[in-house]
Each structure stands twice: as C-alpha cells, then as structure tokens.
C-alpha cells in the first residue's frame, strides 16, 4: 500500500508541476499578447497624432501662402534692407568694399589722366587713345592761335581800341606837340632847307622879279621862319581834330601780319613743348580727379555692400 501511495503522490506532484508550467506559459502568452496590443495601440495613437499634426501644419502653410499672395509686393528698401541684414555684415566687409571700389575708381582716373599726356604701351603696341595731347599738338596750337586772334585781335575791338588810345594820346598835355613842332622848325636842319629853297627861288621868274625890285631872296629868311612857326601853332589843333587813325591804319593788314607772326612762332611748338605747356596748366588740377575717383568709388562700394550686393 505504501508503494501505491508513493506513486500516486508522485503522479499528483507531476500533474501539479505540469499545471504550473501550463499556467506560467499561459501567463507569458497573455503578457506577450498584451504588450503587443499595447504597442499597436501606442503606434496607432502616435500615427494618429502625427497625421493630426501634419494636417494642422498643412493648414498653417496654406494659410501663410494665402496671406503671402494677398500681401503687396515689397519695395526695394523692404526687400534688401530687411531686419538683421546690416548686422550680418561685419565692419571688415564694409572697409573691404570701400577700399576695393575706391582703388578701382582711383586707378581708373589715374590711368585716364596719364593717357592724356603719355603713351601707354611698348613699341608699336599701345592703348588706343593714349598720348592724345602729343598726337594732336598741331590742332592744339592752331586752336591757341585762333583763340588769341578772335579774343584779343578782333577787328571791331582793334578799331575801337586804336581810336580811343589815339585820342587819349593826342589830348595828353605831356605830349606838347606845339613845343616839339617849334623846336623842329627852329633846328639847323630846317634853316638849311629854307636856305636851299631861297637859292632855288633865284633861278625862278619870281626870284628874278624880286632881284629886279632890289630884294635879295636870302634876306627874306628872318621874315619867313617866324611866319612858319606862328602858322604851325595854329595848324596843330586843326590837324589833330581832322586826323582819323582809321584812314591810314589798316586793321585788316595789322591782323594779317599778326596772324603770320603767330603762325611762324607756333611752328616752334613741338610735341614735347605742347605737352609741357598743357601739363603746367592743367595737370596739377587733374590730380583732383584721382582723389575724387577714390572717394566716390569707395562710397559706391559702401552703398553696394549696404544694399546686399555680392553677399
């Protein structure tokens, strides 16, 4: 009886062990199923949440697009000078833009000034348009001559100038025309002329009549000379009032001679002389073109950088 009871107890123990294993496996399966179900639920909830967020994001984007379409276009200032644009540019970039553009403007103007006077290049190859002043020296000196003739020796101006100056000179009391004329008439040269004329009178019929009347022509000299001197004093004002410089001074001939004189003198102006002449007149002032080229070039660089170009 004892062995049967032992076997029974063993069987019951095995059955209980099997039942416990089955219950453990069932519990494990249930836990696995519940975890999978919870994961599926969480995944589903997450996907639903994601879909809802995407839906709201799409609504927000569509709303912004509608507002952007209805919004008026930006002006140049609003488009380029947006908030934060200036802050994004560093001080060094502004200095660089000013320096580069200023250098470009200055070197360009310097080259332009140099090309006026000097040939840029070597041998037969040089920049077209350089050394324009030496190349055009004939036209320059012809222009100088025409300018002087038209400005300083105009025919109407010369007529007025000579008439005005002549009247002023003749009316000048320091000139003392009467006194000078008297000195001339009392000079030995005039006496010799009078003696010669009186000798010639003897050989003429009038002289023979005087000799027949007992009058020696040479003895008339003391009477003739004072008469001529007194008559000359009365003639001087009349001569001055009737004197017109335009009648014996030909302005056209004077201008023609001046034109010939200037043409001959201007032939001496060679290209180096013309270049030196122009340099002395304008080259010092042309240096300001280089200075202002640098300044304005730098300002254009700042404006360009400020507007956002090249960034």
Query: Is 70 exceeded by the pLDDT of residue 162?
Result: yes
Instruction: For the chain, give the percent of residues with pLDDT over 90.
Output: 6
Single out the residue of 136, 139, 134 nearest to residue 118, CA to CA: 134
pLDDT of residue 175: 56
Query: Is 70 exceeded by the pLDDT of residue 83?
Result: no
| pLDDT (average), residues 234-263 | 75
Name the residue with higher pLDDT: 204 or 24. 204
Q: Where are the domains of the chain?
A: 2-67, 134-301
pLDDT of residue 39: 54
Query: Is 50 exceeded by the pLDDT of residue 156?
Result: yes
Indicate the pLDDT class of residue 1, thresholds 50, 70 and 90. Answer: very low
pLDDT of residue 56: 52
In angstroms, the CA 222 to CA 10 distance is 203
pLDDT of residue 299: 92
**Phi, psi for 153 (deg, rounded to 5):** -125, 40
Indicate the pLDDT class of residue 296, thresholds 50, 70 and 90. Answer: very high
Q: Give the DSSP per-residue string, 276-309.
A: HHHIIIIIHHHHHHHHHHHHHHHHHHHHHHHHTT
The Cα-based distances of 60 to 56, 66, 70, 73, 202 in angstroms read: 6, 10, 16, 21, 142
Query: Is 60 exceeded by the pLDDT of residue 173?
Result: no
In angstroms, the CA 148 to CA 265 distance is 13
| pLDDT (average), residues 72-78 | 49
pLDDT of residue 269: 83
In angstroms, the CA 102 to CA 290 distance is 10
> Which position has the token pair 């470009």?
104
- pTM (predicted TM-score): 0.44
Indicate the pLDDT class of residue 274, thresholds 50, 70 and 90. Answer: confident
Name the residue with higher pLDDT: 79 or 18. 18
Query: Is 70 exceeded by the pLDDT of residue 24?
Result: no
Query: Is 70 exceeded by the pLDDT of residue 167?
Result: no
In angstroms, the CA 233 to CA 242 distance is 15
Query: Is 70 exceeded by the pLDDT of residue 60?
Result: no
pLDDT of residue 32: 59
Query: Is 60 exceeded by the pLDDT of residue 76?
Result: no
Selection from 79-93, 134-148, 238-252 with the highest mean pLDDT: 134-148
The Cα-based distances of 38 to 26, 28, 174 in angstroms read: 18, 15, 137
């Amino acid at each position: 009886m004892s062995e049967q009871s032992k076997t029974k107890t063993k069987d019951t123990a095995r059955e209980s062990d099997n039942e416990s294993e089955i219950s453990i496996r069932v519990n494990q399966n249930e836990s696995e199923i519940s975890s999978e179900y919870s994961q599926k639920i969480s995944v589903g909830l997450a996907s639903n949440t994601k879909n809802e967020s995407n839906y709201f994001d799409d609504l927000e984007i569509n709303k912004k697009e509608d507002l952007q379409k209805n919004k008026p276009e930006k002006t140049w200032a609003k488009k380029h000078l947006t908030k934060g644009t200036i802050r994004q540019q560093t001080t060094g970039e502004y200095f660089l833009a000013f320096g580069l553009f200023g250098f470009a403007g200055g070197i360009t103007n310097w080259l332009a000034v140099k090309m006026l006077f000097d040939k840029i290049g070597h041998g037969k190859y040089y920049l077209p348009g350089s050394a324009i002043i030496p190349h055009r020296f004939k036209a320059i000196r012809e222009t100088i001559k025409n300018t002087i003739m038209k400005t300083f020796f105009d025919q109407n101006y010369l007529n007025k100038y000579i008439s005005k100056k002549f009247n002023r000179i003749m009316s000048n009391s320091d000139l003392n025309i009467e006194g000078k004329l008297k000195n001339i008439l009392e000079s030995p040269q005039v006496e010799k002329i009078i003696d010669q004329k009186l000798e010639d009178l003897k050989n003429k019929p009038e002289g023979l009549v005087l000799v027949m009347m007992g009058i020696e022509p040479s003895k008339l000299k003391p009477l003739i000379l004072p008469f001529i001197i007194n008559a000359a004093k009365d003639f001087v004002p009349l001569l001055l009032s009737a004197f017109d410089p335009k009648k014996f001074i030909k302005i056209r001939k004077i201008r023609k001679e001046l034109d010939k004189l200037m043409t001959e003198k201007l032939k001496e102006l060679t290209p180096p002389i013309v270049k030196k002449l122009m340099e002395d007149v304008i080259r010092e002032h042309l240096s300001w073109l280089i200075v202002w080229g640098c300044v304005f070039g730098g300002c254009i660089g700042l404006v360009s950088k400020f507007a956002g170009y090249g960034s």
